[in-house]
Amino acid sequence: MRPPFLRRLLMVVSTLLVVSGLVFLLLDLAPGDPMSQLPPSIPEDVRAEMRSALGLDQPAPERYARWLWQMLVVEPAIAADALLDTDLAAGAPRILSWQTRAPVMSLIAQRLPQTLVVVGLAYLLGTFGAIALSIGSAARRGRTLDRAGTGLAAMGHALPPFFTAAVLIYVFAIRLEWLPTTYDTTLAVTGWDSAAVQIRQMILPVAVLSLQTLAQTVRYSRAAMLDALAQDYILTARAKGLGARRVLLGHALRNSWVPVLTVAALGAPQVFAGAIVTEQIFGVNGIGQLLIQSLQAGDLPTVQTVTMLIAVLIVLANLGADVLIARIDPRTAHA
């Protein structure tokens, strides 16, 4: 591995360590007591024993060190044991949910695929839709397509995901009755009919998140395309007799990828934040819904672990964008 990539990798590790400390500190200092969910008739000595069983009587640095050790060492070792049939974990204590007493990673493993499918599909559709729209807008600047794309981007920025979701549900699910209002996470795709049902129930949540991604990307990708079309090499390509399609796709778009990928990577936190709201509205049984339920129940280990997992996914998305940008434009590799 080259030194620039090593620097980025070290930056990722240090960022995640800082994020883990902030997540633990903010949730530990948050008002409220997990024991407040219990009936008031429970004696104080029983409450004290329960606090001791949950580790709440230990100092915060000790609890943070134990949680970080379980996150970085124990849980990966358990995953390796399951995949490779080894015994690396050797009965080490796992991160347990206060609410269900089940391993938090098991709860996440059940729900993460739903989130990744919806968020991943929406992210790809929104990003590539923004690129396609920016190409058309730049090629027809000031015309109907350009004005429509600008208006769509402004609408996507102005409308929060919960409002967009409510409007789409009212129009397409209630009035027209074309699509379902909720997401059936128990559906098993076993044939064409069930696949069609799966696609239908994914349309609304994916559309809400795609609009958010498209809105935050299309303005920058359009500006990058317009900037590229104003460069001298575009004039040279046109003077050589190259067609408009080749000039747009082979020259202007190729030199516009860097800002587009940068903006798309920086928009990952907003997509995950929108996914948390969208999962609640449509009933998607993903990690966003798990996070909200755990917050309502005061389940701090689950909240900390899910928040940390979302941070890891966001940092990995930015690292992937850095690698792609370095491949597209090697000059940025040493930046």
CATH code assigned at 216? 1.10.3720
149: containing domain: 110-286
Q: What is the pLDDT along the chain (335 residues), one digit of tens a residue?
A: 456 667 777 888 888 889 889 988 888 877 766 666 667 777 777 777 777 777 777 888 888 999 889 888 888 888 888 888 787 777 788 888 888 888 999 999 888 888 888 888 998 898 888 888 888 888 788 788 888 888 888 888 888 888 999 999 999 989 988 888 888 877 777 888 888 888 898 999 999 989 888 888 888 888 888 888 888 888 888 888 878 788 887 778 777 778 888 887 877 787 888 888 888 888 888 888 888 888 888 888 899 899 888 888 888 888 887 877 777 766 665 55
The total of structural domains in the chain comes to: 2
Does residue 228 sit within a domain? yes
User: pTM of the entire structure?
Assistant: 0.81
C-alpha 140/C-alpha 134 separation (Å) is: 10
> What's the per-residue H, E or C state across 113-175?
HHHHHHHHHHHHHHHHHHHHHHHHHHHCCCCHHHHHHHHHHHHHHHCCHHHHHHHHHHHHHHH
Same domain, 88 and 157: no
3-class DSSP state of 86: coil
Same domain, 218 and 166: yes
Q: What element of type H or E holds 34?
A: none
Closest CA to 288 of 110, 121, 115, 100: 115
Does residue 8 sit within a domain? no
Cα 257 from chain centroid?
A: 21
CB neighbours of 257 closer than 8 A, spacing ≥ 6? 325, 328, 329
Same domain, 188 and 48: no
Does residue 122 sit within a domain? yes
Same domain, 128 and 272: yes
Same domain, 137 and 83: no
